[in-house]
Amino acid sequence: MLIRVINPNTTAGMTATVGEAARRVAAPGTKVVATQPDHGPVSIESHFDEAISAVGVLEEVMAGEREDADAYVIACFGDPGLLAARELTRAPVIGIAEAAFHMATLISTRFSVVTTLGRTGIIAEHLLEQYGFRHHCRRVRAAEIPVLDLEENGAAALNRIIDECHRARDQDNIGAIVLGCGGMADLTDEISEAVGLPVIEGVTAAVKLAESLVTLRLGTSKHGDLAFPRPKAFTGRFEHFSGLAPSGLPSTPNRD
CB 54 within 8 A of CB 80: yes
CB 11 within 8 A of CB 43: yes
- In whole angstroms, give the CA distance from residue 151 to residue 154: 6
pLDDT in tens, 67-118: 999 999 999 999 999 999 999 999 999 999 999 999 999 999 999 999 999 9
Q: Residue 103: CB partners within 8 Å, gap ≥ 6?
A: 200, 205, 209
Banded model confidence at residue 250, pLDDT cuts 50, 70, 90? confident
- 3-state SS assignment for residue 23: helix
pLDDT in tens, 169-208: 999 999 999 999 999 999 999 999 999 999 999 999 999 9
Banded model confidence at residue 251, pLDDT cuts 50, 70, 90? low
Q: Quick one: pLDDT at residue 248?
A: 66
Q: Quick one: pLDDT at residue 255?
A: 38
Report how far Cα 28 is from the mean position of its chain's Cα atoms.
22
- In whole angstroms, give the CA distance from residue 70 to residue 202: 19
Average pLDDT, the chain: 94
pLDDT in tens, 121-138: 999 999 999 999 999 999
Alpha carbon distances (Å) from 143 to 1, 15, 115, 116, 119: 36, 22, 6, 5, 11
pTM over 0.75: yes
Banded model confidence at residue 253, pLDDT cuts 50, 70, 90? very low
**CATH value of 97-202 in 3.40.50.1220, 3.30.230.80, 3.40.50.12500, 2.30.30.30:** 3.40.50.12500
Q: Quick one: pLDDT at residue 256?
A: 40
Which phi and psi angles does 124 have, rounded to 5°? -60, -40
Banded model confidence at residue 119, pLDDT cuts 50, 70, 90? very high
For residue 74, list its beta bridge partners. Answer: 6, 95
In the chain, CATH 3.40.50.12500 sits at: 2-95+206-241, 97-202
Q: Which of 103, 101, 55, 62 is nearest to 80 (CA)?
A: 55
Indicate left, alpha or beta for 71 from its phi (over 0: left) and psi (-120 to 50: alpha): beta
Q: Quick one: pLDDT at residue 249?
A: 75
Q: Thinking of the domain 2-95+206-241, which architecture would CATH place it in? A: 3-Layer(aba) Sandwich (3.40)
- In whole angstroms, give the CA distance from residue 202 to residue 128: 14
